[in-house]
Amino acid sequence: MADDSYIKDPAARLDYTWDWGLWLADVSDTISSATVTVPEGLTAVGAPVVGSTAVTQRVEGGDLDGAYRLVCRITTAGGLVDERKLDLTILER
């Protein structure tokens, strides 16, 4: 899975998802736990929602013209650990 980039309005509250489905199918595994690191300036709304192949985090905030990187780190049922990044640019939409 490639890292992703998105544009977010400063007033928006949106869900962002990291999908490991293809990789997990290749290694015959599922997600056991996950953490999402949200940088200062953004707010994680609630805990991440962890499924067997994807993690979703709701995020709000951000300063206009700001750039932020969210990091999702998973541990699989088989003990593998991986992380993916997601970049947000805050612009009026």
Q: Considering the chain, what percentage of its residues have pLDDT values greater than 90?
A: 95
Entry pTM: 0.92
Q: In what side-by-side order are the strands of the sheet with 31-37? A: 4-8, 81-90, 67-76, 31-37
Which of 80, 11, 88, 18 shows the shortest CA–CA distance to 48? Answer: 18
**Token code pair at residue 46:** 């609630």
Q: Residues 59, 62, 64, 66: what is their CA dihedral angle, to the nearest 10 degrees?
A: -100
> Residue 73: what pLDDT?
98
Mean pLDDT, residues 44-69 taken together: 97
Kindly indicate the confidence band of residue 43, based on its pLDDT and cuts at 50, 70 and 90.
very high
Q: Please determine, for residue 1, whether its predicted confidence score (pLDDT) is greater than 90.
A: no
With contact defined as beta carbons under 8 Å apart, do 90 and 5 qualify? no
Position of tokens 């890292």?
A: 3
Domains of the chain: 4-90 (2.60.40.10)
Amino acid at 11: A
Which letter does DSSP use for residue 78 in this model? Answer: T
